[in-house]
Structure 1
């Protein structure tokens, strides 16, 4: 899994941007992992009786448990002020936009909903987008482009160049439903504060836009989904962008989504460490 922790290690510079153009990206640095051959096997006394109810099954379990414990402590103590600030920014944007959030611990998908006149708007994205980044070249290319544009960047008061921070793409589905008129499904990719619309589809039956069952997903695939968005007239494309902005899906909201994914991924990683540690130590 290439998570935020791996991504932040691969990017040599971190930057802060104003909330109007970007939210802060959380970085959770940690030292590179040593190989198991280099690790020193701890004694059983390294763990308190409150942590482990009985001895692990093997010496390797002891070593694995020690590493999980060390990783959990490191993650819990890394960049706590920045992590808290990031959550505050996200909460403020959600509150300002009057969004209702469904974020279930242990689940990957996050759903934001709101009312806009007679419309019901549903925005969904998943933490899997940060886990499924498998090609480091994407970030290497971004860093290379930064270096190529280095001379064109403004300098700060310390005569240092200010460069934008690379952003990972996040797939976001927007469903706009009207009573008795079905629903629109707007499939987008969010990156660098922009909703890049890929497809706009209308369904007479609103439940097909959500397609939470295999049957409805099959029924949806048999329907005409609309033309590729890039084939539309440029003026029409621009009007669709304004359609989203009018409903609160603006640059600030777009910047929040990768940040929300990063924060949730960190929470889920901590949860995973805790549950796996408890299982190994049981």
Structure 2
């Protein structure tokens, strides 16, 4: 079961590669340590303690301020081009709440409501690839042949349909009739290297049970059959499901956008984290 499914079953990452960003931050912190040391030593000589009365508060706040300035200076101004282009297509709406690690993409397709959820947590836990025994590391000056977004991001998709409704006129009175909701189809997949690799496909008779992010819905989902592993299905059936997703815009273009946006959001959240922690230490 994917990490996103665990999130959903509550009670219940053109951008830089993760290894590059981690290395850049590491170098920045080393440089900051060298620049800050003299300032920090002077701060300790102040007779009256500032901030939270801790002996280390001033040095920590200064270090946070330097790191924050570095990140802000390195950031490109305004909205990135890849995001502008994505929004200009007008296909998917982005639901991104500051401070949360989940992002939702939603759209309408005919009578379907489609939601795709992914998390930047996959970026935060991704490790640099290790070389297999016998493989040689890329020599200095030689460009790596690895794709820009080789790290996987878990995605959860849900498909729901509005219940059928119609109105009858009986003896001059409008009577609205509501049909039965067709339930919900959910798909767990991995987004990597411009493709979606499906894990499994589940169906829920009750659309609320299949899509709500509540403890009650999670409890009800535990007893449901989650469907077979996708790669065990007949090849022709797998192909038809792939066509089903392609027609709904769940394609290579989207699979490249998701890790790019995840990295963009992770950087925004990191800057926000620096601001908030700095503010707390200084209070």
TM-score category, normalised to shorter length: 0.7 to 0.9
Q: Tell me, yes or no, if structure 1 residue 194 matches structure 2 residue 195.
A: yes
The number of residue pairs the alignment matches comes to 240
**Please, which of 107, 110, 113 is the counterpart of residue 120 of structure 1?**
113
Give me the whole-angstrom Cα distance separating, in 1, the residues matched to 2:144 and 2:278.
41
**Please, which of 150, 174, 178 is the counterpart of residue 167 of structure 1?**
150
Q: Taking structure 2 as the reference length, what is the TM-score of the superposition?
A: 0.74
For 2:102, the equivalent position in structure 1 comes to 109
Give me the whole-angstrom Cα distance separating, in 2, the residues matched to 1:107 and 1:270.
14
State the superposition RMSD in angstroms.
3.2
Give me the whole-angstrom Cα distance separating, in 1, the residues matched to 2:221 and 2:148.
38
- CA drift at 1:101: 1.6
Distance 1:111 1:236, change over 3 A: same
Comparing both structures, which one devotes a greater share of its residues to strand?
2
- CA drift at 1:112: 1.2
- CA drift at 1:141: 4.1
For 2:229, the equivalent position in structure 1 comes to 228
Q: How does 1:176-195 map to 2 (within 5 A)?
A: 176-179=159-162, 180-195=181-196
- CA drift at 1:77: 0.8
Q: Taking structure 1 as the reference length, what is the TM-score of the superposition?
A: 0.75
Say which SS state the counterpart of residue 272 (structure 2) adopts: helix
Q: How does 1:52-63 map to 2 (within 5 A)?
A: 55-63=51-59
Residues 25-78 of structure 1 show CA distances to partners (whole Å, capped at 9, x for unaligned) of xxx656253499975115459xxxxxxxx5452331111111100000000011
Q: Tell me, yes or no, if structure 1 residue 8 matches structure 2 residue 20.
A: yes
Q: Which has the higher Rg, Structure 1 or Structure 2?
A: 2
**Kept in 2: contact 1:184–1:201 (CA 8 A):** yes
Q: How does 1:210-249 map to 2 (within 5 A)?
A: 210-249=211-250
Give me the whole-angstrom Cα distance separating, in 1, the residues matched to 2:248 and 2:118.
17
